[in-house]
A and B are shown apart, each in its own frame.
Chain A
Amino acid sequence: MEFDRFHQFGTLLLHDAFVLSYSGYVTEDILEAVGSTLRARLADHTASPRQIRNVFSIFVELMQNVIRYGTEGPQPPGLLGNRESFGLVMVCQNGTCMDILSGNYISKKSAGKMRRRVEFLNDKTPAELRKIYQSRLRQPPEFDSKGASIGLIEIARRSSMPLQYETRDVDEGLCFFMVKASVERSS
């Protein structure tokens, strides 16, 4: 990377009240390392244990989603073993809120499925989410004909606002899928 782009990248990250970001191939080891760093950083940014808990919880579920579904994206050159999961996650402070964003490459077909799941959950009240969560507990993890996986329901329950998402097309079959959750200090 040339110095101008490198500097631009650094400036971009400093722009928002930025807590932490990770970009690259995501593994369980990375999740653990970035997760424990995040917890320590959050303690510097907020005094609310509830906000820390909800942000950390959303972070873990998002990272595990990336690990599970991020293998459809570009792969490191010369890869011999299993496909790698590429993803991007960022936590930043936004007034009294803490925003958690994650992005990964997925097929347009998977993106359509994700969109439907997020919209299904965004239509629900907290009491309905609580019920849906409970009803999914004894269903197989990949139960996804409609509705959503338990991880996504967990994210929706701990987010203070409806989940937002956007996609950017990469090529004919692939897109970059981004999702944003937000945790209010008092929630």
Chain B
Amino acid sequence: MTDIHHPATSRTPAVTLNKETAHLLIEGESYPEDVTGFYAPIFQSLEAFFSAGNQRMNIDIKLIYFNSSSARALTELLDIMDSHAAKGASITIRWFCDHDDDVTREFAEDVAMEMENLTIAVIDLNHDG
């Protein structure tokens, strides 16, 4: 098991998974050509992390823009985390949304509502003006 350090590209976010600190950061743009190809290995790493007996994970989502296919992938990520939380893992999720991006904030709030065992903090990134 290795950490993940994907640098951001114009269409894919920077992804940093640090197993030592139990922290995953997804930051930047997300409209990959192949959404599944991009996100599936990250989900696999997370599954391996929990299978190895780890019980803790903090995730920060800081996406400037993501398309509808990425919204599906994010939902899948949070469903996976919800299932681990149900088994007793201690997971915190912080989702940072631009203040004026109603659609994204509503999406984050709606996904958060659907989680049974997981608390998602939807945080407003304030902008001037």
Interfacial residues, chain A to chain B (CB-CB below 8 A): 28, 32, 36, 49-50, 53-54, 56-57, 60-61, 64, 130, 133-134, 137-138, 141, 150-151, 153-154, 157-158
Contacts and interface: CB of A to CB of B under 8 A. Distances in A.
Interface residues of B, number: 22
Given A36-B10, A60-B31, A137-B75, A151 B68 contact: yes
Given A50-B100, A137-B75, A32 B11 contact: yes
Q: Which of B31, B106, B114 has the largest number of chain A CB atoms within 10 A? A: B31
Nearest to B103: A157
20 contacts: A28-B33, A36-B10, A49-B127, A50-B101, A54-B103, A57-B65, A61-B68, A64-B69, A130-B106, A134-B107, A134-B110, A134-B114, A137-B75, A138-B72, A141-B69, A150-B69, A151-B67, A154-B67, A154-B103, A158-B103
Nearest to A150: B68
B60 interface: no
Contacts of A32: 10-11
B104 to A, nearest CB: 9
Contacts of B68: 61, 150-151, 153-154
A130 B127 CA distance: 24
B110 A60 contact: no
Contact of A53 (B33, B65, B114): B65
B107 A53 contact: no
B33 A57 contact: no
Contacts of A56: 65
Given A133-B107, A150-B68, A53 B101 contact: yes
A134 B79 CA distance: 13
B82 to A, nearest CB: 12
Q: Which of B33, B114, B127 has the largest number of chain A CB atoms within 10 A? A: B33
Nearest to A149: B68
A141 B98 CA distance: 27
Contacts of A53: 65, 98, 100-101
